[in-house]
Amino acid sequence: MPPDPRPYIEGVRSGDRRMLAKTITLIESRLLSHQDLTQSVIDGLLPFTGHAIRLGITGVPGVGKSTFIESLGLHLVEQGRRVAVLAVDPSSARSGGSIMGDKTRMEKLAVHEHAFIRPSPAGRTLGGVSRKTRESMLVCEAGGFDVIIVETVGVGQSEYAVASMVDFFLVLMLAGAGDELQGIKRGLLEMADAVAINKADGDNIDAAERAKKAYENAMHLMTPVHPCWTPPILTCSALAHKGIDDVWQMILRHREMLTSRGELNLKRQEQAISWMHQLLEEGLKKWFYEKAEVRERLKDVSRHIETGKTHPTAAVRQILDLLPQSDPKSNPKSLQPK
């Protein structure tokens, strides 16, 4: 008898937090034996997903992401919303500390009955972490949370993964001393739907205003992600709860703009399709490289390349010749690099 997905599905749907946590733990499990059950649970929950505002937040370590999420989260639960926070942290080295840190930084939100905070454990691959976060997001939506916030630290690739699973991607920045745009990843700004310069408080207010102007100028030089939306630059103080509602109102404006043009669904469809391609690629790679004959031949041709007996193009042909040919008309040569 395969394990029964219904207790999970019904538990999540009824708002049982213990079952919500248990379902996410199931999703995070690496055990092969859990995969079918996980799939059935997600299939069962899928009809109840899609209604939430999906918000991604990134920024360098220490910019104030957790403090900002605590402040925004409390603001939202006070308005009667239900807020789930998921953290993506692909680097095992800092995860332990950051999870502990988040518990203390979001301590008011963490105990609120309408909030749910779930730090992801470090994963082995970014793909793995990102699959778990996507699926956990769906579980939270099915559990009735209407704002899902995904936090990730902006130092690697994880911010690209998060940007591709949310409706709105917010980049937190700090007013730096001197040249504002030095050392900022241009790619990160290009993904942003808005930039909020945090810690605009105390002695830092003027610097934050200067940074805002610098970012505004920089943004005007970039091709916007959306023709109708130039990413706004705001200032805020997560610690002093200043400017938090402005950020939220802007997120709602962006949403209105997308929905009125029918683009929110389109954006999500495109995200789903590109996610499918990513999974397919991962699956194909895994399947291919695990084949004994592929490993064998890879070893051989690598040696031949080292000794100058063959060159990479010919080597690839020899390896791809190992692909099974279910369709006699298909020609594996068409897969080969031109």
Ligand X SMILES: Nc1nc2c(ncn2[C@@H]2O[C@H](COP(=O)(O)OP(=O)(O)OP(=O)(O)O)[C@@H](O)[C@H]2O)c(=O)[nH]1
Q: Would you count residue 152 as binding Mg ion (CB under 5 A)?
A: no
Binding site for ligand X (CB under 6 A): 59, 61-67, 98, 101, 105, 153, 198-199, 201, 237-239
CB 330, min distance to ligand X, A = 49
The answer for 170, left when phi > 0, alpha when psi is -120 to 50, beta otherwise, is beta
The CA-CA-CA angle for residues 25, 27, 33, to 5°, reads 100
Integer Rg of the chain from CA: 23
CB 300, min distance to Mg ion, A = 48
In order of 57, 81, 154, 195, 328, the CA distances from 216 in angstroms are: 19, 31, 20, 9, 58
Q: Would you count residue 67 as binding Mg ion (CB under 5 A)?
A: no
* Residue number of the CB atom closest to ligand X: 64
Nearer to ligand X, 23 or 67 (CB): 67
* DSSP label of 226: B
Nearer to ligand X, 95 or 271 (CB): 95
CB 198, min distance to ligand X, A = 5
238 binds, among ligand X, Mg ion, none (CB under 5 to 8 A by kind): ligand X
CB 251, min distance to ligand X, A = 18
Closest CA to 49 of 272, 255, 322: 272
Q: How many CA atoms lie within 13 A of 320 on its CB side?
A: 14
Q: Would you count residue 65 as binding Mg ion (CB under 5 A)?
A: yes
195 binds, among ligand X, Mg ion, none (CB under 5 to 8 A by kind): none
Q: Would you count residue 54 as binding Mg ion (CB under 5 A)?
A: no
CB 201, min distance to ligand X, A = 5
Residue 329's CB: how many other CB atoms inside 10 A?
A: 5
Nearer to ligand X, 136 or 237 (CB): 237
CB 104, min distance to Mg ion, A = 10
63 binds, among Mg ion, ligand X, none (CB under 5 to 8 A by kind): ligand X
Nearer to ligand X, 201 or 216 (CB): 201
In order of 8, 24, 59, the CA distances from 116 in angstroms are: 17, 12, 22
The b/e string for 307-320 (b: 16+ C-beta within 10 A; e otherwise) is: eeebeeeebebebb
Q: Would you count residue 66 as binding Mg ion (CB under 5 A)?
A: yes
Nearer to ligand X, 98 or 158 (CB): 98
Nearer to ligand X, 23 or 198 (CB): 198
Helix ranges restricted to H, 56-183: 65-78, 92-105, 107-110, 126-142, 158-163
241 SS3 class: coil
Pairing state of beta strands 115-119 and 53-59?
Answer: unpaired
Nearer to Mg ion, 136 or 198 (CB): 198
Total of chain residues touching Mg ion, rule CB under 5 A:
2
In order of 90, 278, 291, the CA distances from 284 in angstroms are: 22, 10, 11
Residues that bind Mg ion (CB under 5 A): 65-66
